[in-house]
């Protein structure tokens, strides 16, 4: 096992100022904090009820930045109802996304070419102890602003200036970099191509053990047991099982979330060269399934679950098992999240089940 040193920057979060417990944490406490690791996020699947029903407390305003939940979150129709109900919705993005169309206020974000950004995540993602400053190439066009500039302005106007005293992105990055011994100017001028820090540690667990209470790989987890969860990995049927209720009406299994190498979630479909490689949404079916349901390659079909229906082109391929339907996400033209469920399937994290949903398919063209 390999662990790379991490750059420890000064935190900008202020969790002690939160007046309410983040959504879903009472139901899923380990999603918020495990041992001494403070993840600091609520479970977003509980946002729907907070907006629509005021449970566990009402949410009347939202600020969505760099996200398109109407295409990437489950049960899109329910989320659309929720976004219409909030009294104020602001969206900060580069494009007029499906989510941005619901906003009362759309704020144009600066692209990566128009802002500075500290890239200190290489050690976490790639195991490389490396840090660099992404440089601003041009000034922001039009009325676009960097995320940091916007949040500093919002903080000042909301009366939190004492907690956000910086006047520029450069000052914020100087504050964040202080524990590393580097400054914004260092990374911009002295080390424009970045700096190495720490080391890559191989076999560290042989001396120090793992960062678990026992110091070992825990196949049996005392932590899970104390919270009332199964302490051992336990196989369970999906909430919507082909061996359970509903299988007569919905005899197939829909799986979603498969990655398309040309796109990232709902991004990049406006890039012509990429769109040519994968021009339209589709549902993948096995040849046996296609024959059984009268589907033809390139024909249209109606895919349905208990939540809704989507019309989409059929792609017949032997790479998908019989009785399985596979639909990638992120398409406005055929939003698979109109079919998915937000119901928490994993009792520990509260995450929904997006890989096993009962479905049926009907050909729309002979």
Per-residue pLDDT, averaged over 219-231, amounts to 94
Alpha-carbon distance of 77 to 62, in angstroms, equals 17
229-to-29, 256, 347, 354 alpha-carbon distances in Å: 12, 27, 8, 21
Residue 79, CA atoms < 13 Å, CB-side half-sphere:
24
Model confidence at 202: pLDDT above 90: no
DSSP 47-81: HHHHHHH--SS---EEEEES--HHHHSS-HHHHHH
Model confidence at 338: pLDDT above 70: yes
User: Quick one: tokens of 118?
Assistant: 């500290």
Q: What is the pLDDT of residue 284?
A: 98
Of the ranges 8-17, 257-266, 318-327, the best mean pLDDT one: 318-327
Q: What is the pLDDT of residue 2?
A: 65
Alpha-carbon distance of 105 to 91, in angstroms, equals 6
> Domains in the chain and their CATH numbers?
2-200 (3.40.50.740), 252-363 (2.40.40.20)
pLDDT tens, position by position, 141-161: 999 999 999 999 999 999 999
189-to-151, 195, 196, 347 alpha-carbon distances in Å: 26, 12, 16, 49
Question: pTM for the full model?
Answer: 0.90
Model confidence at 204: pLDDT above 90: no
pLDDT tens, position by position, 77-136: 999 999 999 999 999 999 999 999 999 999 999 999 999 999 988 887 788 899 999 999
Q: What is the pLDDT of residue 127?
A: 84
Model confidence at 35: pLDDT above 90: no
Q: What is the pLDDT of residue 197?
A: 86
Asked if 359 and 305 count as a contact pair (C-beta separation under 8 A), the reply is: yes
Alpha-carbon distance of 308 to 18, in angstroms, equals 37
Q: What is the pLDDT of residue 19?
A: 81
Q: What is the pLDDT of residue 126?
A: 80
Which residue shows structure tokens 């007046």? 19
pLDDT tens, position by position, 278-289: 999 999 999 999
Model confidence at 6: pLDDT above 90: no
Q: What is the pLDDT of residue 41?
A: 84
Q: What is the pLDDT of residue 96?
A: 95
Per-residue pLDDT, averaged over 6-33, amounts to 85
pLDDT tens, position by position, 77-93: 999 999 999 999 999 99
């Amino acid at each position: 096992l390999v662990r790379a040193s991490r750059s420890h920057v000064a935190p900008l979060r202020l969790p002690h100022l939160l007046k309410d417990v983040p959504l879903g944490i009472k139901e899923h406490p380990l999603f918020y904090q495990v041992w001494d690791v403070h993840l600091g996020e609520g479970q977003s699947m509980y946002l729907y009820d907070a907006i629509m029903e005021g449970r566990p407390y009402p949410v009347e305003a939202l600020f969505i930045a760099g996200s398109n939940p109407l295409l990437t979150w489950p049960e899109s129709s329910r989320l659309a109802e929720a976004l219409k109900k909030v009294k104020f919705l602001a969206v900060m993005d580069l494009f007029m996304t499906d989510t941005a169309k619901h906003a009362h206020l759309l704020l144009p974000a600066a692209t990566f070419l128009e802002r500075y950004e500290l890239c200190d995540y290489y050690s976490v993602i790639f195991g490389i102890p490396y840090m660099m400053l992404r440089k601003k190439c041009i000034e922001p066009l039009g009325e676009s602003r960097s995320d940091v500039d916007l949040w500093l302005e919002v903080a000042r106007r909301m009366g939190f200036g004492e907690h956000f005293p910086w006047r520029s992105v450069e000052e914020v990055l100087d504050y964040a970099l202080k524990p590393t011994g580097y400054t914004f100017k260092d990374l911009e001028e002295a080390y424009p191509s970045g700096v190495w820090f720490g080391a890559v540690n191989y076999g560290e667990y042989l001396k120090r053990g793992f960062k678990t209470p026992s110091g070992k790989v825990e196949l049996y987890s005392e932590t899970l047991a104390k919270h009332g969860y199964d302490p051992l990995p336990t196989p369970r049927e999906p909430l919507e099982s082909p061996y359970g209720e509903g299988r007569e009406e919905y005899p197939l299994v829909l799986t979603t979330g498969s990655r398309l190498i040309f796109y990232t979630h709902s991004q990049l479909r406006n890039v012509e060269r990429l769109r040519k490689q994968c021009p339209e949404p589709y549902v993948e079916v096995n040849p046996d399934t296609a024959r059984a349901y009268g589907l033809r390659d390139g024909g249209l079909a109606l895919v349905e679950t208990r939540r809704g229906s989507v019309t989409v082109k059929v792609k017949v391929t032997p790479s998908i098992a019989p009785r399985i339907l596979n639909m990638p996400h992120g398409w406005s033209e055929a939003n698979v999240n109109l079919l998915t469920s937000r119901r928490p399937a994993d009792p520990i994290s509260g995450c929904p089940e997006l890989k096993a949903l009962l479905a049926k398919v009907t050909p729309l063209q002979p």
